[in-house]
Chain A
Amino acid sequence: MPFSRNRWGCQASSLLIGIALGCLTLASCGAARTNHFRQFTQAGVAYSDAVGTLLDETGDAAIAADSMVLVKTRPSLSREERQQAILEHNQLLRERLALLQDLKRHARLLRAYFEALGALAESDAPSGIGAASEGVVTEMGKLHPAIANAKIRDVAVSSFVGSVTTIVVGRFKAAALEKELQERAPIIERELDLQQAALSAVARQLRTDLQAQLLQQESNVVVLPYQGNESLPAGWAGRRREVLQAHASLASADAAADAARELKVAFVALSEGRFHLVDVPRLIEDINQIVTLMENVSGQAEESE
């Protein structure tokens, strides 16, 4: 019955087109979603790395500012007062350094989590599995020529089995990421809120320590020499310019807290199925500005000693 065969042929071909379109849609949605995960985890890893460096710098700045205070007050203190001050301040700074180390260790843990999530999002296992399943069909074909020659309409099974497997496994990967997101979303959201709180506190401390050092440099190398009757030291104008310009860079101390806030916004978007671009290089550049600022402040402090 030719008419009946034709009708069956049309239905089969519509079904195949439907399946193909469905597969393409699934593949493109899954790929876009996986890309969002990949982009977020890359930002998370970059953030965790930058936070580690920042916490080291914060410890250094705290010690430098405290030493500055001890040196400044030393001539006005008795021997007993000096002894008490140095021991108490050392103890407080040891506690500070231990806390910063704890925060750094936690940042490494957060990094390991983002890394694992990123490894899943970036895994090329689906394409490898597709290639491997093509190999299975090829080998099976050698065993039984009917498999190698099998066709759906005029398309050989062996020509599309690999790509369909890739899509199915790709969905499995996306499902694993979604499952993780659903299970861990409240924890990660809380984590990013706490990161923001921690970095706001760290940024305020860092800014205070750096600003105090800059103010003392301004006092010692700019204001007091100018106010006094002695002739101005060589290079006074240049150092004045450096100190005043360094003050303007202090705003970069808030970059780390901004980065944590940005990461939280991206995470909420990811949870809600929206895309939010996290500009990783800009985040890192902002955080690294603090490191540059620290180097400038330390350099000027050494020059003024």
Chain B
Amino acid sequence: MGALDPSVIHRQTVQQLQEVFLRMNSPEWDLALKEKPENVVRAAARQLLAVQRARLGLENAELADIQAKLAANEEALEQGRIEVRNALQKLAQIEAVLESVASFLGVVSRVVSLA
């Protein structure tokens, strides 16, 4: 049996913590705690905070990992945007040159017809 991919283990751990967190906020959990002694209620509160902290930390790590990979794409994306914009400018330049040539020819034709 091959070793599990660390990112898969990480994701599964996050999912497990999310499930525990939901269980500890459910009506069933609150009902079960209602009749328990003070020390159990206190321990449950500390556990809930610990689960929430672990969940926030691991979820942040998961997002940071993806964000780092996305950031590695940014230079290529920006380069693509510049090249596409340049292609668009080339199209616009052709139009501008043709318009100015037509306008220039209009002037020349008036001069030629006057001559």
User: Is chain B's binding surface mostly helix, strand, loop or mixed?
Assistant: helix
B63, A103: Cβ atoms closer than 8 Å:
yes
A176-B84 contact given A88-B53, A92-B57, CB 8 Å threshold: yes
A72, B48: Cβ atoms closer than 8 Å:
yes
Chain A residues within 8 Å of B42, by CB: 76-77
A106 at interface by CB-CB < 8 Å: yes
Interface stretch of the complex, out of A13-21, A186-194, A291-299? A186-194
**Chain B interfacial residues counted at CB < 8 A:** 60
Bound-state Cα–Cα, A188 to B62, Å = 21
Give chain B interface residues in 64-94, CB to chain A under 8 Å. 64, 66-67, 69-71, 73-74, 76-78, 80-81, 83-85, 87-88, 90-92, 94
A194, B84: Cβ atoms closer than 8 Å:
no
Chain A residues within 8 Å of B83, by CB: 180, 183
Give chain A interface residues in 54-95, CB to chain B under 8 Å. 62, 66, 68-70, 72-73, 75-77, 81, 85, 88-89, 92-93, 95
Chain B residues within 8 Å of A81, by CB: 46
Bound-state Cα–Cα, A176 to B89, Å = 12
B88, A212: Cβ atoms closer than 8 Å:
no
A116, B91: Cβ atoms closer than 8 Å:
no
Bound-state Cα–Cα, A68 to B22, Å = 12
Among residues of A, the one whose C-beta sits closest to the C-beta of B87 is A176
Give chain A interface residues in 13-72, CB to chain B under 8 Å. 62, 66, 68-70, 72
A136, B105: Cβ atoms closer than 8 Å:
yes
Among residues of B, the one whose C-beta sits closest to the C-beta of A204 is B18
Query: What would 16 A/B residue contacts be, using CB atoms closer than 8 Å?
Result: A76-B45, A92-B57, A96-B56, A96-B63, A106-B70, A116-B80, A125-B94, A128-B95, A129-B95, A136-B102, A183-B83, A194-B66, A198-B66, A198-B67, A212-B21, A216-B25
Bound-state Cα–Cα, A106 to B26, Å = 36
Q: How far is the CB of B43 from chain A (nearest CB, A)?
A: 9
Among residues of A, the one whose C-beta sits closest to the C-beta of B76 is A187
Among residues of B, the one whose C-beta sits closest to the C-beta of A137 is B102
Bound-state Cα–Cα, A72 to B57, Å = 20
Chain A residues within 8 Å of B102, by CB: 132, 135-136, 138-139
Chain A residues within 8 Å of B22, by CB: 208, 211-212, 215
Proximity bits, A158-169, B CB within 8 Å = 1, else 0: 000000000001
Question: Contact check: which of B59, B67, B94 meets A106 at CB < 8 Å?
Answer: B67
Among residues of B, the one whose C-beta sits closest to the C-beta of A88 is B53
A102, B67: Cβ atoms closer than 8 Å:
yes
Bound-state Cα–Cα, A216 to B30, Å = 9
Bound-state Cα–Cα, A75 to B45, Å = 9
Among residues of B, the one whose C-beta sits closest to the C-beta of A191 is B73
